[in-house]
Structure 1
Amino acid sequence: MDKGEPLLCPLLQKMTVHGLNNNTKANLVVVGVHGLVSLLGILENALIIWVVGFRLSRRTVTSVWVLNLALTDFLATLTLPLFTAYLHSSHSWELGDPLCKVQASIFFFNMFVSAFLLAAISLDRLLLAVKPAWSRNDRSVAGAWKVSALGWLWGAINTAPYFVFRSVVEKMDGRKLCYYNFALYLPSNGTLQRDCDVRHGTMAISKMLLAFLIPLMIITGSHIKTALSLKARDRRRKQSAIFLPDEQITLSTNEPSKRKFSTASTKTNNMLLGSISTKPRKNSLHPSSSLRPNGQDMLSQSFKKLVTAAVLVFVLCWAPYHIFCMIELTAQHNEETLKLVETWLPLAATLAFLNPVLNPILYTFSCPKLFVRIKQSLGAVFDGLVEERGGFPMSPSGTIRDRMKRRSSRDVTATTPGSPKFSSSLRQSSHS
């Protein structure tokens, strides 16, 4: 190798010689689909961030988890157009070395942070099931933000090597490859093969352990422990219900009469108060903080389904990528294995890119309250855009939604005790 040429690892040297798929029609289809998916992912995550970050009435622990997942997914989807440009340029990276480093770093940053947050959410569910009293007293939004910040720091530390060793290398056919160059920062090529193998193996194994296997073990163990804890609690509750003392049985038989009396008093109060109404609390991603007697429902069923679906999608999207990364470790010693990796590893990486695109869909369909909030937020935006008064666009305070709120508030004020309309309505009802 000439002194003017950069030092390359043996595996990268072989990759610069091999060609890629030159089917123009197939590439155009891939570029078109990838471009649409990129745009969809950016819009989806931006909408989730807007709704969860700015439109919720109150911040909860669950909303902090969802917001941080959406933020890291949004960063990942912002780099998808760069990969689309790479595909459009006949699999040649024409955007320069800095963007090559940035695109790869954000890809792996999303991988580490998402795995960390999913493991943290699973442990949070475990604590809710095993220690409901502690969770009710010490589980806080501030604590969720601290754990999320730790996840972002964890992702940044583990992403640093990928930023350092990512580089643009020109191939024999003139195209440019944005890939690892583990021969960077080596003083000489005397130990090139050994150093490249050590660096490549260390990074491949570490990212598979830290960003996939260990988080997956934590997630799986937390789900199993949570299920066993809830089943044991249900069993104890059923056993205690069978062996109730006579005093509790006597009290329980008197409960229906007490319930009837309380219902009758409630109806009487409603007759006196008439149409008085209170402003309902806005929906939130997090269910009510009150516990059922068994203390197992601090998280809603919809959020449990969301966690399960997010974990499954994470595994399906990232497992093929890590498998082919491990196969790549032996690719330089086998020509057929190298061709297999060059063909399927980019496809596995594309599948991994789908993870931040699919997550917002899971949030929307797994959390009905979030879906309602999105529709309300979009409705408020379009009300302000299309509603007009006197030929001019209305101000934000003049939308249909705001007029309905003002009308309902006038109705509430008119029927408040002490108001003239309330007094007259009472007199009319007494005369009748």
Structure 2
Amino acid sequence: MAECFFSLTFNQSISLPNKTVATSSSGILAITLHGLFSTIGIIENLLILGVVGFRVRRTVISIWILNLSASDLLATSSLPFFTLYMAKGNTWTLGTTFCRIYSSIFFLNMFVSGFLLAAISLDRCLVVMKPVWAQNYRNIQLVGKICILIWALAIICTIPFYVFRDTIQHPSGTIMCYYSYARFPPSGPYDLRTLCKQRKEALAFMKLVLAFLIPLLIIIFSYIVVSYHLSRRGCRRSYRFVRLVVSVVVTFILCWAPYHLFIIMEVTAPSGSSVGKFASKGMRIAATIGFLNSILNPILYVFSCPDLCRKIKHSLSAVMESVLAEDLGELTRRRSTACSSFSTRDVALQPKTYTETLSLKLGDENDGSTTNSDLH
């Protein structure tokens, strides 16, 4: 197993972990960006899930958005662990099982996002092409079943990446969370190097075709059909629609194309070539850019909707008003409690103070008389 990993990973394309990367300027910048991306993604996706899930009436669009935000929240929530990996000098310290789970979350989001974006595009295409059918059969129950099917397919596609993920101990002492293609060897005779190469290529092209090319073609085809049918009906396409279409396609390409490009370069590059080494260095940056899709999706699909933006602002203002009302109420209650306690204490202390003052005066008089008698 180790032979396969070192021959196909370290010697071919993956540069050795560097413990000083966390202290370099580029390492600090990368860690800061990952932390920033994670914070923004978690906050905005939680906000969308809260508003769309509890304050918006259930519709087909809201079901799509809820599933997309859930997938993006899952991805951005796993990003801090990758940040920790970088901060530790590119060494994995959280165990083998969590290495597989964390990596699987990244690939699960990749498949779910691609499938959901394609499904949303097809949904809009059907609404324009078959309005009568959409009015009769397009409902939240059907969309809910489609979303369950999408998650199931994405989980099935993620299983190979979970199976072949492992923690690899390097002689330098660092631990990598990466592929180990020699796991679960076939029962018959086989060549280890050929087996690992075949598995590596299969996983790379599987991601490229299922998570990128097919969804991208569906998205482009759907919006071309929508634009064509609207123009035939004489409907003027709104600027918001054109902007949304261009933004979705461009964002999807910019976020995921670099990752898949570097993956294919890594797989097809000859062993020890400069192209393979360049691909291994660029793949880390490309993976970070891929996470940006989970941050930009809510902005494109949710914040472009004026009604939903108003609901989000109303929800935030309602939350702030509730918090301020609770704080003011608590402050008022404390003040009233403090005033009542002061009043009660003053009333209780008044006789005692008078008695003490009187006794002190009498004591002073007695002391004074005693002193005078002694003097005489």
Structure 1 residue 332, shift from structure 2 partner: 4.8
- Determine the structure 2 residue equivalent to 1:164: 163
Query: 1:65 & 1:303 partners in 2: Cα distance?
Result: 18
Contact 2:17-2:174 within 8 A present in 1 as well: no
Aligned equivalent of 2:196 = 196
What SS class does the counterpart of residue 233 from structure 2 fall into?
helix
Equivalences for residues 254-265 of structure 1 within 5 A: none
Aligned to 2:35: 35
Matched with 2:54 is 54
1:365 is paired with a residue of what secondary structure?
Answer: coil
* 2:7 corresponds to: 10
Q: Which SS does the other structure have where 1:321 is aligned?
A: helix
**Whole-angstrom CA distance in 1 between matches of 2:302 and 2:120:** 18
Match of 2:251 in 1: 313
Please list, as runs of the form range in 1=range in 2, the aligned pairs for 1:202-241 lying within 5 A after superposition. 202-234=202-234
8 Å CA contact retained: 1:9, 1:196: no
Residue 24 of structure 1 aligns with an amino acid whose one-letter code is S
Residue 323 (structure 1) aligns with: 261
Alpha-carbon distance between aligned partners in 2 of 1:104 and 1:122, rounded to the nearest angstrom = 28
Q: Which has the larger radius of gyration?
A: 2
For residue 137 of structure 1, report the CA deviation from its aligned partner. 1.6
The reply on whether 1:113 has 2:79 as its aligned counterpart is no
Structure 2: give runs of 5+ residues left out of the alignment. 335-376
Query: Equivalent residue for 2:80?
Result: 81
| 2:99/2:165 contact within 8 Å kept | yes
1:240-389 correspondence to structure 2 within 5 Å: 305-306=243-244, 308-387=246-325, 388-389=328-329
Give the conservation status (yes or no) of the 8 Å contact 1:125–1:226.
yes
Q: 5+ residue gaps in structure 1?
A: 235-293, 394-432
**Displacement after TM superposition at 1:172 (Å):** 3.2
Aligned to 2:332: 391
For residue 141 of structure 1, what is the aligned residue in structure 2? Answer: 140
**Aligned residues between the structures:** 327
Name the TM-score, length of structure 2 as normaliser: 0.81
Instruction: Looking at secondary structure, tell me which structure has more helix per residue.
Output: 2
| Structure 1 residues 116 and 190: CA distance shift in structure 2, 3 A | closer
The 3 A distance-change label for structure 1 pair 331 and 96 is farther
How many percent identity over aligned positions? 43
Residues 1:98 and 1:301: Cα distance change in structure 2 (over 3 Å): farther
After superposition, the C-alpha distances for 1:361-387 in whole angstroms (9 at most, x for unaligned) are: 324531111111111111111111111
- TM-score norm. by structure 1 comes to 0.71
Measured at CA, do residues 129 and 364 of structure 1 come closer, stay the same or move farther in structure 2, by a change above 3 Å?
closer
Q: What is the match of residue 342 of structure 2? A: none
- CA apart distance, 1:38: 0.9
Is the 1:303–1:367 contact (alpha carbons within 8 Å) kept by the matching residues of 2? no
State whether residues 7 and 184 of structure 1, in contact with CA within 8 Å, keep that contact through their aligned partners in structure 2: no
Contact 1:9 1:182 in 2 (8 A): no
d(CA) in 2 for partners of 1:328, 1:25: 26
| Cα distance, 1:40 vs structure 2 | 1.4
Cα 1:327–1:63, aligned 2, differ >3 Å: closer, same or farther?
A: same
**2:101 is aligned with 1:132:** no
Rate the CA distance shift 1:145–1:230 in 2: closer, same or farther, 3 A: same
Q: Which residue of 1 aligns with 2:340?
A: none
